[in-house]
A = this chain, B = another copy of it.
Amino acid sequence: MSKLDNQMDKINQQLKAKGYKLTHQRAMTLRVLLENEQDHLSAEDVYMLVKKTYPEIGLATVYRTLELLTELHIVEKMNFGDGVARFDLRDDSQEHMHHHLICAKCGVLKEIQEDWLLELEQRVQREFGFTVTDHRLDFTGLFQSCSAGECKRGKDTKAS
């Protein structure tokens, strides 16, 4: 059984446990997410990719599926201020959202896998009596290569 099948199976369990079915459409949507784990796809992106192998799917279904998966904490819905929500498979081993480095020039986006915030979360708890359940940390700035003017993309801010 491939890694992909394995992951799919695991998610299937989660869906079933909550009384949801893994329909063909949902499976296709998940597959796209699994095959693009590194990207931060918008709903439209996902829609286009699913359509390639399953042209009958409707945009609304993609939206609904992404919302469902977000509720189940299988994907992470995020927002980089460009007016579209982006979705990302949530790694089980990763309790929180990844941190991001976003190039201010070309929009290239890099994930930091480690969790750098445990200490600050304890501090928030101590100083504000606030129990953190999730967090978000994005840095905007310039990569060395981008400040050297080697940015590939002009301004289309496609997350990848």
Contact = CB atoms under 8 A, between A and B. Distances in A.
A147 interface: yes
A141 interface: yes
Could you say how many copies of this chain the assembly holds? 2
A101 B128 contact: yes
A131 B148 CA distance: 12
A132 B139 contact: yes
Q: Which of A77, A120, A145 has the most CB of B within 10 A?
A: A120
Contacts of A138: 135-136
Interface residues of A, number: 34
A141 B131 contact: yes
B132 A141 contact: yes
A136 B135 CA distance: 10
A97 to B, nearest CB: 10
Contacts of A31: none
Nearest to A144: B129
A104 B131 CA distance: 10
Interface string A112-142: 1000110011011000111111111111111
8 contacts: A81-B85, A104-B133, A104-B134, A110-B130, A116-B120, A120-B137, A129-B144, A134-B139
Given A124-B139, A130-B139, A130-B142, 9 more contacts: A78-B81, A101-B128, A101-B130, A120-B137, A121-B139, A130-B141, A132-B139, A134-B139, A137-B137
